[in-house]
Protein backbone atom coordinates (compact mmCIF):
# COMPACT_ATOMS: atom_id res chain seq x y z
CA UNK A 1 0.00 0.00 0.00
CA UNK A 2 1.27 3.44 -0.96
CA UNK A 3 2.09 5.82 1.89
CA UNK A 4 1.39 9.51 1.34
CA UNK A 5 3.81 10.64 4.07
CA UNK A 6 6.78 9.17 2.25
CA UNK A 7 6.13 11.05 -0.98
CA UNK A 8 5.18 14.55 0.03
CA UNK A 9 7.79 16.03 -2.29
CA UNK A 10 6.05 14.69 -5.39
CA UNK A 11 3.91 16.87 -7.61
CA UNK A 12 0.17 16.63 -6.96
CA UNK A 13 -0.69 14.93 -10.26
CA UNK A 14 2.07 12.34 -9.86
CA UNK A 15 0.97 11.71 -6.32
CA UNK A 16 -2.65 11.38 -7.40
CA UNK A 17 -1.67 8.81 -10.03
CA UNK A 18 0.22 6.76 -7.45
CA UNK A 19 -2.79 6.84 -5.13
CA UNK A 20 -4.87 5.38 -7.94
CA UNK A 21 -2.20 2.82 -8.87
CA UNK A 22 -1.94 1.67 -5.27
CA UNK A 23 -5.73 1.38 -4.81
CA UNK A 24 -5.79 4.15 -2.21
CA UNK A 25 -8.19 5.78 -4.65
CA UNK A 26 -10.04 3.24 -6.73
CA UNK A 27 -11.53 4.39 -10.02
CA UNK A 28 -12.59 1.06 -11.40
CA UNK A 29 -15.79 1.04 -9.38
CA UNK A 30 -19.14 2.47 -10.31
CA UNK A 31 -19.01 5.10 -7.58
CA UNK A 32 -16.16 7.18 -6.23
CA UNK A 33 -16.11 9.55 -3.29
CA UNK A 34 -13.72 12.44 -2.73
CA UNK A 35 -14.56 14.02 0.60
CA UNK A 36 -13.00 15.43 3.70
CA UNK A 37 -13.00 11.87 5.09
CA UNK A 38 -10.26 10.99 2.61
CA UNK A 39 -7.37 13.05 4.06
CA UNK A 40 -4.65 11.93 1.63
CA UNK A 41 -6.61 12.88 -1.44
CA UNK A 42 -7.88 16.04 0.22
CA UNK A 43 -4.30 17.22 0.77
CA UNK A 44 -3.62 16.76 -2.92
CA UNK A 45 -6.68 18.77 -3.86
CA UNK A 46 -5.84 21.50 -1.36
CA UNK A 47 -2.37 21.82 -2.82
CA UNK A 48 -3.62 22.27 -6.36
CA UNK A 49 -6.07 24.79 -7.75
CA UNK A 50 -7.72 22.28 -10.02
CA UNK A 51 -8.65 18.63 -10.05
CA UNK A 52 -5.77 16.31 -11.04
CA UNK A 53 -6.56 14.82 -14.43
CA UNK A 54 -9.03 11.98 -14.18
CA UNK A 55 -9.64 9.75 -17.19
CA UNK A 56 -11.66 6.64 -16.56
CA UNK A 57 -14.61 5.57 -18.66
CA UNK A 58 -16.00 3.27 -15.97
CA UNK A 59 -16.77 6.06 -13.48
CA UNK A 60 -20.47 6.90 -13.40
CA UNK A 61 -20.67 8.73 -10.06
CA UNK A 62 -18.20 11.18 -8.55
CA UNK A 63 -18.49 13.04 -5.23
CA UNK A 64 -16.19 15.93 -4.34
CA UNK A 65 -17.10 17.75 -1.15
CA UNK A 66 -15.58 20.19 1.35
CA UNK A 67 -12.41 20.65 -0.70
CA UNK A 68 -10.54 23.77 -1.81
CA UNK A 69 -11.02 23.15 -5.51
CA UNK A 70 -11.21 26.22 -7.73
CA UNK A 71 -11.85 24.38 -11.00
CA UNK A 72 -12.89 20.90 -12.11
CA UNK A 73 -10.98 21.27 -15.36
CA UNK A 74 -9.15 17.97 -14.91
CA UNK A 75 -12.27 15.81 -15.00
CA UNK A 76 -12.58 13.93 -18.30
CA UNK A 77 -15.27 11.34 -17.62
CA UNK A 78 -17.38 10.78 -20.68
CA UNK A 79 -19.70 8.27 -18.95
CA UNK A 80 -20.23 10.28 -15.79
CA UNK A 81 -23.92 10.34 -14.81
CA UNK A 82 -23.91 11.73 -11.24
CA UNK A 83 -21.67 14.54 -9.97
CA UNK A 84 -21.91 15.93 -6.44
CA UNK A 85 -19.89 19.06 -5.68
CA UNK A 86 -20.98 19.93 -2.15
CA UNK A 87 -19.51 22.84 -0.18
CA UNK A 88 -16.39 23.46 -2.24
CA UNK A 89 -16.42 27.08 -1.18
CA UNK A 90 -13.65 28.20 -3.55
CA UNK A 91 -15.03 26.48 -6.63
CA UNK A 92 -15.57 28.99 -9.44
CA UNK A 93 -15.78 27.06 -12.68
CA UNK A 94 -17.53 23.93 -13.94
CA UNK A 95 -17.00 24.75 -17.62
CA UNK A 96 -15.33 21.45 -18.48
CA UNK A 97 -18.25 19.41 -17.13
CA UNK A 98 -20.18 20.35 -20.26
CA UNK A 99 -18.19 17.62 -22.00
CA UNK A 100 -19.81 15.01 -19.73
CA UNK A 101 -22.65 14.46 -22.15
CA UNK A 102 -24.24 11.65 -20.13
CA UNK A 103 -24.46 13.67 -16.93
CA UNK A 104 -27.97 13.38 -15.49
CA UNK A 105 -27.66 14.46 -11.85
CA UNK A 106 -25.71 17.50 -10.66
CA UNK A 107 -25.52 18.78 -7.07
CA UNK A 108 -23.98 22.22 -6.55
CA UNK A 109 -25.03 23.10 -3.00
CA UNK A 110 -22.73 25.30 -0.96
CA UNK A 111 -20.55 26.79 -3.71
CA UNK A 112 -21.11 30.55 -3.34
CA UNK A 113 -18.39 31.62 -5.81
CA UNK A 114 -19.49 29.33 -8.61
CA UNK A 115 -20.34 30.56 -12.10
CA UNK A 116 -23.36 28.49 -13.14
CA UNK A 117 -23.64 29.80 -16.71
CA UNK A 118 -22.34 26.49 -18.20
CA UNK A 119 -25.56 24.85 -17.01
CA UNK A 120 -27.39 26.12 -20.07
CA UNK A 121 -25.48 23.56 -22.16
CA UNK A 122 -26.19 20.57 -19.91
CA UNK A 123 -29.40 19.67 -21.66
CA UNK A 124 -29.50 16.05 -20.48
CA UNK A 125 -29.79 16.90 -16.79
CA UNK A 126 -32.77 15.32 -15.03
CA UNK A 127 -31.86 16.30 -11.46
CA UNK A 128 -30.28 19.57 -10.28
CA UNK A 129 -29.64 21.11 -6.87
CA UNK A 130 -28.61 24.75 -6.49
CA UNK A 131 -28.65 27.13 -3.56
CA UNK A 132 -27.82 30.78 -2.82
CA UNK A 133 -28.09 31.85 -6.47
CA UNK A 134 -30.35 34.78 -7.31
CA UNK A 135 -29.92 34.62 -11.07
CA UNK A 136 -30.82 31.17 -12.36
CA UNK A 137 -31.34 32.01 -16.04
CA UNK A 138 -28.99 29.22 -17.25
CA UNK A 139 -31.55 26.55 -16.32
CA UNK A 140 -34.51 28.00 -18.21
CA UNK A 141 -34.23 25.59 -21.14
CA UNK A 142 -33.31 22.40 -19.30
CA UNK A 143 -36.60 20.81 -20.21
CA UNK A 144 -35.53 17.29 -19.24
CA UNK A 145 -35.30 18.27 -15.59
CA UNK A 146 -37.56 16.19 -13.35
CA UNK A 147 -36.16 17.15 -9.94
CA UNK A 148 -35.09 20.70 -9.12
CA UNK A 149 -33.98 22.00 -5.73
CA UNK A 150 -33.56 25.79 -5.46
CA UNK A 151 -33.43 26.01 -1.69
CA UNK A 152 -32.28 29.32 -0.18
CA UNK A 153 -32.28 31.22 -3.46
CA UNK A 154 -33.71 34.41 -1.98
CA UNK A 155 -35.31 36.93 -4.33
CA UNK A 156 -34.97 34.57 -7.27
CA UNK A 157 -37.28 35.22 -10.23
CA UNK A 158 -39.00 31.86 -10.62
CA UNK A 159 -40.38 32.84 -14.02
CA UNK A 160 -37.19 31.20 -15.20
CA UNK A 161 -38.62 27.75 -14.51
CA UNK A 162 -42.06 28.17 -16.04
CA UNK A 163 -41.10 26.13 -19.12
CA UNK A 164 -39.70 23.16 -17.21
CA UNK A 165 -42.89 21.22 -17.75
CA UNK A 166 -41.40 17.81 -16.96
CA UNK A 167 -40.68 18.70 -13.35
CA UNK A 168 -42.18 16.25 -10.89
CA UNK A 169 -40.28 17.28 -7.74
CA UNK A 170 -39.66 20.98 -7.01
CA UNK A 171 -38.17 22.60 -3.90
CA UNK A 172 -38.36 26.38 -3.44
CA UNK A 173 -38.06 26.64 0.33
CA UNK A 174 -36.41 29.57 2.12
CA UNK A 175 -36.84 31.74 -0.96
CA UNK A 176 -38.80 34.78 0.34
CA UNK A 177 -41.31 34.16 -2.45
CA UNK A 178 -44.43 36.31 -2.62
CA UNK A 179 -45.75 35.35 -6.05
CA UNK A 180 -45.89 31.82 -7.46
CA UNK A 181 -47.91 32.45 -10.63
CA UNK A 182 -45.15 30.85 -12.69
CA UNK A 183 -45.90 27.46 -11.18
CA UNK A 184 -49.38 27.19 -12.66
CA UNK A 185 -48.12 25.56 -15.86
CA UNK A 186 -46.03 22.88 -14.19
CA UNK A 187 -48.80 20.33 -14.39
CA UNK A 188 -46.64 17.26 -13.83
CA UNK A 189 -45.44 18.25 -10.38
CA UNK A 190 -46.11 15.58 -7.76
CA UNK A 191 -43.99 16.90 -4.92
CA UNK A 192 -43.72 20.62 -4.10
CA UNK A 193 -41.93 22.26 -1.18
CA UNK A 194 -42.66 25.97 -0.58
CA UNK A 195 -41.68 26.03 3.07
CA UNK A 196 -40.53 29.27 4.69
CA UNK A 197 -41.63 31.85 2.13
CA UNK A 198 -43.93 34.88 2.31
CA UNK A 199 -46.95 33.43 0.52
CA UNK A 200 -50.45 34.74 1.12
CA UNK A 201 -52.04 33.60 -2.13
CA UNK A 202 -51.73 30.02 -3.38
CA UNK A 203 -54.35 30.17 -6.12
CA UNK A 204 -51.76 29.28 -8.85
CA UNK A 205 -51.56 25.81 -7.31
CA UNK A 206 -55.16 25.09 -8.25
CA UNK A 207 -54.14 23.51 -11.56
CA UNK A 208 -51.52 21.19 -10.07
CA UNK A 209 -53.89 18.29 -9.63
CA UNK A 210 -51.13 15.66 -9.69
CA UNK A 211 -49.63 16.87 -6.44
CA UNK A 212 -49.28 14.13 -3.85
CA UNK A 213 -47.00 15.99 -1.41
CA UNK A 214 -47.21 19.70 -0.61
CA UNK A 215 -45.32 21.69 2.01
CA UNK A 216 -46.63 25.20 2.71
CA UNK A 217 -45.35 25.53 6.25
CA UNK A 218 -44.10 28.84 7.64
CA UNK A 219 -45.88 31.14 5.22
CA UNK A 220 -48.56 33.80 5.76
CA UNK A 221 -51.65 31.89 4.66
CA UNK A 222 -55.14 32.77 5.83
CA UNK A 223 -57.23 31.33 3.01
CA UNK A 224 -56.53 27.83 1.70
CA UNK A 225 -59.68 27.24 -0.35
CA UNK A 226 -57.49 26.39 -3.37
CA UNK A 227 -56.45 23.14 -1.74
CA UNK A 228 -59.88 21.58 -2.23
CA UNK A 229 -58.94 20.95 -5.87
CA UNK A 230 -55.79 18.99 -5.02
CA UNK A 231 -57.59 15.75 -4.36
CA UNK A 232 -54.55 13.53 -4.96
CA UNK A 233 -52.68 14.93 -1.99
CA UNK A 234 -51.34 12.34 0.45
CA UNK A 235 -49.06 14.58 2.49
CA UNK A 236 -49.81 18.18 3.44
CA UNK A 237 -47.91 20.51 5.77
CA UNK A 238 -49.56 23.80 6.77
CA UNK A 239 -47.74 24.24 10.07
CA UNK A 240 -46.65 27.66 11.32
CA UNK A 241 -49.19 29.61 9.28
CA UNK A 242 -50.04 31.70 12.30
CA UNK A 243 -53.07 33.41 10.75
CA UNK A 244 -54.72 30.24 9.50
CA UNK A 245 -58.03 29.74 11.33
CA UNK A 246 -60.29 27.83 8.94
CA UNK A 247 -59.57 24.47 7.32
CA UNK A 248 -62.97 23.56 5.85
CA UNK A 249 -61.45 23.12 2.38
CA UNK A 250 -59.50 20.09 3.61
CA UNK A 251 -62.63 17.97 3.90
CA UNK A 252 -62.36 16.88 0.27
CA UNK A 253 -58.77 15.67 0.49
CA UNK A 254 -59.78 12.12 1.29
CA UNK A 255 -56.48 10.58 0.18
CA UNK A 256 -54.50 12.40 2.84
CA UNK A 257 -52.30 10.15 4.94
CA UNK A 258 -50.18 12.74 6.71
CA UNK A 259 -51.37 16.19 7.80
CA UNK A 260 -49.48 18.80 9.83
CA UNK A 261 -51.42 21.78 11.23
CA UNK A 262 -49.06 22.55 14.09
CA UNK A 263 -48.99 26.11 15.47
CA UNK A 264 -51.86 27.71 13.57
CA UNK A 265 -55.01 29.38 14.96
CA UNK A 266 -57.49 26.60 14.26
CA UNK A 267 -60.63 26.39 16.41
CA UNK A 268 -62.61 23.63 14.72
CA UNK A 269 -61.45 20.35 13.22
CA UNK A 270 -64.92 19.25 12.13
CA UNK A 271 -63.80 19.11 8.48
CA UNK A 272 -61.21 16.44 9.31
CA UNK A 273 -63.85 13.82 10.08
CA UNK A 274 -63.99 12.82 6.38
CA UNK A 275 -60.27 12.08 6.11
CA UNK A 276 -60.62 8.36 6.72
CA UNK A 277 -57.13 7.52 5.45
CA UNK A 278 -55.24 9.77 7.85
CA UNK A 279 -52.46 7.95 9.69
CA UNK A 280 -50.38 10.85 10.98
CA UNK A 281 -51.99 14.03 12.32
CA UNK A 282 -50.39 16.95 14.15
CA UNK A 283 -52.84 19.60 15.38
CA UNK A 284 -50.79 20.74 18.36
CA UNK A 285 -50.62 24.37 19.50
CA UNK A 286 -54.00 25.50 18.21
CA UNK A 287 -57.26 26.61 19.85
CA UNK A 288 -59.17 23.35 19.52
CA UNK A 289 -61.75 22.71 22.24
CA UNK A 290 -63.35 19.48 21.05
CA UNK A 291 -61.64 16.44 19.55
CA UNK A 292 -64.77 14.46 18.71
CA UNK A 293 -64.30 14.56 14.88
CA UNK A 294 -61.19 12.45 15.37
CA UNK A 295 -63.34 9.53 16.50
CA UNK A 296 -64.01 8.83 12.82
CA UNK A 297 -60.33 8.48 11.91
CA UNK A 298 -59.81 4.80 12.57
CA UNK A 299 -56.49 4.55 10.68
CA UNK A 300 -54.68 7.08 12.86
CA UNK A 301 -51.30 5.88 14.09
CA UNK A 302 -49.80 9.14 15.29
CA UNK A 303 -51.74 12.02 16.81
CA UNK A 304 -50.38 15.16 18.45
CA UNK A 305 -52.90 17.23 20.42
CA UNK A 306 -50.48 19.09 22.70
CA UNK A 307 -51.25 22.67 23.74
CA UNK A 308 -54.92 22.89 22.85
CA UNK A 309 -57.98 23.81 24.90
CA UNK A 310 -59.90 20.55 24.78
CA UNK A 311 -62.77 20.53 27.27
CA UNK A 312 -64.76 17.52 26.04
CA UNK A 313 -63.10 14.81 28.10
CA UNK A 314 -65.57 12.11 27.10
CA UNK A 315 -64.71 12.58 23.46
CA UNK A 316 -61.04 12.55 24.26
CA UNK A 317 -61.37 9.31 26.23
CA UNK A 318 -63.23 7.59 23.41
CA UNK A 319 -60.50 8.50 20.94
CA UNK A 320 -57.94 6.84 23.19
CA UNK A 321 -59.82 3.65 24.02
CA UNK A 322 -62.13 2.85 21.13
CA UNK A 323 -59.51 0.91 19.18
CA UNK A 324 -59.11 -1.57 22.02
CA UNK A 325 -62.82 -1.98 22.53
CA UNK A 326 -63.02 -2.96 18.87
CA UNK A 327 -59.83 -5.05 19.04
CA UNK A 328 -58.16 -2.94 16.40
CA UNK A 329 -54.73 -2.06 17.86
CA UNK A 330 -53.62 0.22 15.04
CA UNK A 331 -52.66 3.51 16.63
CA UNK A 332 -49.03 3.73 17.61
CA UNK A 333 -48.59 7.13 19.15
CA UNK A 334 -50.80 9.82 20.61
CA UNK A 335 -48.99 12.69 22.20
CA UNK A 336 -50.62 13.77 25.47
CA UNK A 337 -52.45 10.51 25.54
CA UNK A 338 -51.67 7.39 23.66
CA UNK A 339 -51.62 4.33 25.60
CA UNK A 340 -49.40 1.81 26.43
CA UNK A 341 -46.49 -0.71 26.50
CA UNK A 342 -47.24 -4.38 26.91
CA UNK A 343 -49.07 -5.06 30.15
CA UNK A 344 -51.04 -7.99 31.48
CA UNK A 345 -52.56 -6.36 34.52
CA UNK A 346 -54.61 -3.20 34.33
CA UNK A 347 -53.36 -2.13 37.73
CA UNK A 348 -49.84 -1.88 36.31
CA UNK A 349 -50.89 1.04 34.12
CA UNK A 350 -49.32 3.52 36.51
CA UNK A 351 -45.91 1.90 36.16
CA UNK A 352 -45.95 2.23 32.42
CA UNK A 353 -47.49 5.64 31.97
CA UNK A 354 -45.12 8.35 30.79
CA UNK A 355 -47.24 11.36 30.03
CA UNK A 356 -45.63 14.29 28.25
CA UNK A 357 -47.66 17.39 29.14
CA UNK A 358 -46.33 20.80 28.29
CA UNK A 359 -47.75 22.19 31.50
CA UNK A 360 -47.95 19.18 33.78
CA UNK A 361 -48.28 21.07 37.05
CA UNK A 362 -51.71 22.27 35.98
CA UNK A 363 -52.82 19.06 34.32
CA UNK A 364 -51.46 16.41 36.70
CA UNK A 365 -54.41 16.18 39.08
CA UNK A 366 -57.07 16.29 36.40
CA UNK A 367 -55.39 13.65 34.28
CA UNK A 368 -54.75 11.37 37.25
CA UNK A 369 -58.46 11.44 38.08
CA UNK A 370 -59.28 10.52 34.50
CA UNK A 371 -56.85 7.60 34.57
CA UNK A 372 -58.31 6.37 37.86
CA UNK A 373 -61.78 6.53 36.41
CA UNK A 374 -60.73 4.56 33.34
CA UNK A 375 -58.95 1.93 35.40
CA UNK A 376 -61.97 1.48 37.68
CA UNK A 377 -64.25 1.09 34.71
CA UNK A 378 -61.98 -1.49 33.11
CA UNK A 379 -61.69 -3.44 36.35
CA UNK A 380 -65.46 -3.51 36.78
CA UNK A 381 -65.85 -4.90 33.29
CA UNK A 382 -63.04 -7.40 33.91
CA UNK A 383 -61.13 -6.24 30.86
CA UNK A 384 -57.62 -7.57 30.48
CA UNK A 385 -55.28 -5.57 28.27
CA UNK A 386 -52.38 -6.90 26.23
CA UNK A 387 -50.20 -5.29 23.58
CA UNK A 388 -51.22 -1.77 24.55
CA UNK A 389 -48.77 0.87 23.59
CA UNK A 390 -47.69 4.13 25.07
CA UNK A 391 -45.23 6.23 23.17
CA UNK A 392 -43.63 9.64 23.69
CA UNK A 393 -45.46 10.03 26.91
CA UNK A 394 -43.04 10.93 29.64
CA UNK A 395 -44.05 11.58 33.11
CA UNK A 396 -45.89 9.04 35.19
CA UNK A 397 -43.32 6.32 35.84
CA UNK A 398 -42.84 7.54 39.41
CA UNK A 399 -46.48 8.09 40.27
CA UNK A 400 -47.18 6.68 43.73
CA UNK A 401 -45.46 3.30 43.67
CA UNK A 402 -46.99 2.55 47.03
CA UNK A 403 -50.47 2.85 45.55
CA UNK A 404 -49.58 0.46 42.75
CA UNK A 405 -48.27 -2.12 45.16
- Looking at residue 393, its pLDDT comes to 35
Domain layout of the chain by residue ranges? 221-336, 339-405
Residue 396 has pLDDT above 50, yes or no: no
The percent of residues above 90 in pLDDT, for the chain, comes to: 48
Q: Give the mean model confidence (pLDDT) for residues 206-235.
A: 98
Q: What is the pLDDT of residues 63-76, one digit of tens each?
A: 888 887 888 876 77
Q: Give the mean model confidence (pLDDT) for residues 289-307.
A: 90
Residue 49 has pLDDT above 80, yes or no: no
Q: How far apart are CA 247 and CA 76, in angstroms?
A: 55
Right CATH number for 221-336 from 3.40.50.720, 3.30.2020.10, 3.80.10.10, 1.10.3720.10? 3.80.10.10
H/E segment holding residue 148? strand 147-149
Give pairs for 373-376: CB < 8 Å, separation 24+: 374/317, 374/321, 375/346, 375/347, 375/349
Q: How far apart are CA 65 and CA 273, in angstroms?
A: 48
Residue 57 has pLDDT above 90, yes or no: no
Lowest mean pLDDT among 20-24, 190-194, 388-392: 388-392
Q: What is the pLDDT of residues 129-153, one digit of tens each?
A: 998 887 899 999 999 999 999 998 8
Closest CA relative to residue 329, chosen from 301, 356, 371: 301
Q: Are 78 and 102 in contact (CB under 8 A)?
A: yes
- Looking at residue 77, its pLDDT comes to 81
Amino acid sequence: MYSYSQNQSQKPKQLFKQLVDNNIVVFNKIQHDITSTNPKLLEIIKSNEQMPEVNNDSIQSLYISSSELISTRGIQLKNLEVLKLYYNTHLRSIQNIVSCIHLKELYLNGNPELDISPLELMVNLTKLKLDTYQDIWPIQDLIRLQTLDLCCNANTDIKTIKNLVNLSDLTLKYGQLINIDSLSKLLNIEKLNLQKNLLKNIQPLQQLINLSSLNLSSNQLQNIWTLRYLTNLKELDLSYNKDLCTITSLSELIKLIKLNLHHCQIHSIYSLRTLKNLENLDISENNIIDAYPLEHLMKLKKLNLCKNKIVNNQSFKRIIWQQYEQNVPTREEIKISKMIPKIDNVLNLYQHFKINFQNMKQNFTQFKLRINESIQQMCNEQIKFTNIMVSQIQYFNLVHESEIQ
